[in-house]
Structure 1
């Protein structure tokens, strides 16, 4: 007479083990997915430490300094450009010269060592982004950088997922703006123009076509 090697209760135990394994994998996947897309993981709304406590609110909104005074290549090259120390000291050679906040700039000028600013937006190496193409074609600063004119410390306003970029590339009209408002720190991130004006600006800037969503547009 043959005997069972395992009692029937083992079947229930095996089912529970498989259920717990499946539940654990599912839970871990969900936690990783939402964690990866969270503001904390992506650094959204966080301001990285910088060598100088620079306030866009003070310089851009209160003093009305044009973006291109510091970011001199934003409309000419793929990189917006960071101001040379001499640019900072153009004003600060006579204003707040003894402020501890400017000590790094003074030391940079004296030693000839450039200030090392920490990136707020750091795209992957396989992503090609050109500042000049965007600002020269009706896409303003606040569409990507948020309410930069109110930022006392520069923070990351957007999660730079591919889906976010494609949202604009598929329908650029939702972000198009008047040429005079491209560098405005108070302009809304999305266009508030009439539909007719949006169409006119799309034609003016010659925006459109399948190439906007071609892989090679951003991955070269």
Structure 2
């Protein structure tokens, strides 16, 4: 996995998210990508995706909105199959953001990439073989059988923190944000097939496809 926009700058989203991935004990290999750093949290940092020693299965993108389509294009050319776009500044702000999101979707579709977001809080997976926390939440909730899909990042973060304080376990959490790519329908189908999940919770402000 690559974290594009990983940072050492105190208070930066890229700093906290990359640190959360490391502290959760992610079972895969994670590469920080940022041309401004030689290392992030003690991990060797690469200037771009093309410089990585292997093709990441997934890229988490935390850069200014205007740069996101180009980053996703680079990931697609490299062969990455999934992107999670944390960055905001797309359809939710109107104007140029609408066109920028359309460009992002076009790039993802051209390379047949799974796209979560943009403008999202990230994803969690508590399976012991994964242990992924690519969100702003500083703690991984206990492992459990509840999967949670949230369109609101703020509400999702609040529920995760409540689960941690009350020892309520989760199997997965996905913040869909603007739902430009993957939506709740696709996630429902995937989570329904997950043997670790027995309950699926959703918070959505509308349905992408009510059929």
Higher relative contact order (CA 8 A, sep 6+): 1
More helix by share: 1
Bigger-Rg structure (1/2): 1
Q: What is the TM-score of this pair, normalised by structure 1? A: 0.24
